Amino acid sequence: MATTNGDRPTIRLLASAETSPSVLFGLYDVLSTAGAVYAELVNGEPGAQLLDVKIAAETGQPFRCYGGMLVEPHASLAETPDVAIVCDMYTPVDTPPRGRYAAEIAWLKRIHAEGAIVCSVCSGSLVLAEAGMLDGEEASGHWAYHELFRTQYPKVRFRMDSILLFAGDGDRIITAGGSTSWQDLALYLIAKIGGRQAAVRTAKVHMFADHSDGQLPFAVIAPNRKHSDAVIGNCQAWISANYACENPVARMCAQSGLNPRTFSRRFMAATGYHPVEYVQTVRIEEAKELLESNAVKVDEVGRAVGYEDPTFFRRLFKRKAGVAPAAYRRKFSTIYPAKRAD
């Protein structure tokens, strides 16, 4: 990787008032100590720092980020680093950041054109989407923004299951998923610049968890109910209370008073889901809650949400949640201990 300072590769962390301190300072701590802290912990002597890491912001002046934490940037948006990381920039899940971050977007587009790798974490991918840098590409970001991407950035193929996705010429655009996926991005960049051993040592120092299952085990799918179709809205309310019934799609259609073709078309237009996919989503979300909170056997959970065939339920659950039901229960059992029946 080429460097701009003739020595260590340069990484700039782009922050704003909407950035969370956990992402910003977590990235800064890990990336700025890569190559140095492992040797100090093992041998008692610091090693050489691998990277030149600085926090950058629009003006370079101090400001307070999300939660009121003071940020004192090291740099404004003047230089062209080797890597720029757009930290999370919070926006409500139904509100695109239109008209915001003009200076940041101009900087990102310029440095990318000049050869820099541009990355994002969590809601930072919305800034790249606003810049048009993700058009026609697959992209990741926090799973909660999947509906916002669908409606506001239809040219972006948003993947709510992924932790890291690579796009653009030479894979020089990297989008990372939810908040703690900054850890996966940091390890990737350390490995790319300093080699796999440096990344492994960093993971050991910070005891980073494995995210190889992707985002789906953590995702809560809340299909769109903020639309103007009252008939479909009534169907959504009905199925939320009757998700385990037999022939749920036919019964929703009957509730609507529409013919099946019109019902399916209007349901898709209002929610972004085909009716059967919507029912499956509601049922799997209910199954997740049962697995999280009690020791009911997996097959009983399947029956409780409307699936008599345990094989089909397990297969559908894994497709929707990214892991098998028993693995999903294990993932969260240490947070809320439950006596397992499986």
Q: Could you write out the DSSP letters of every residue in 276-324?
A: HHHHHHHHHHHHHHHHHH----HHHHHHHTT---HHHHHHHHHHHHSS-
How far apart CA 202 and CA 198 sit, in angstroms, is 6
Asked whether residue 338 carries a pLDDT value surpassing 70, the answer given is no
Residue found by looking up tokens 């970001």 in the block: 141
Mean pLDDT value of segment 75-102: 94
Dig out the tokens for 308 from the structure: 């008599």
Among 33-47, 62-76, 94-108, name the one with the lowest average pLDDT. 33-47
Q: Which residue has the higher pLDDT, 332 or 182?
A: 182
- Domain 230-333 CATH class label: mainly alpha
What pairing do the DSSP bridges indicate for beta strands 70-71 and 63-64? antiparallel
pLDDT at res. 26:
96
Asked whether residue 154 carries a pLDDT value surpassing 90, the answer given is yes
pLDDT at res. 2:
43
How far apart CA 167 and CA 318 sit, in angstroms, is 27
Q: Which residue has the higher pLDDT, 337 or 191?
A: 191
Mean pLDDT value of segment 109-128: 97
pLDDT at res. 219:
85
pLDDT band at 225 (very low <50, low <70, confident <90, very high): confident
What pairing do the DSSP bridges indicate for beta strands 10-14 and 83-86? parallel
Mean pLDDT value of segment 308-313: 96
How far apart CA 338 and CA 319 sit, in angstroms, is 24
Q: Which CATH fold topology does 10-218 show?
A: Rossmann fold (3.40.50)
pLDDT at res. 212:
81
Mean pLDDT value of segment 261-281: 94
Start and end residues for every CATH 3.40.50.880 domain found in the chain: 10-218
> Distance from CA of residue 322 to its chain's centroid?
14
Helix and strand element counts for the chain (H, E): 14, 10
pLDDT at res. 4:
45
With CA atoms as reference, report the closest residue to 176 among 149, 222, 214.
214
pLDDT band at 245 (very low <50, low <70, confident <90, very high): very high
Asked whether residue 126 carries a pLDDT value surpassing 70, the answer given is yes
Mean pLDDT value of segment 295-322: 94
Start and end residues for every CATH 1.10.10.60 domain found in the chain: 230-333
pLDDT at res. 45:
84
pLDDT band at 1 (very low <50, low <70, confident <90, very high): low
Residue 143 DSSP one-character state: G
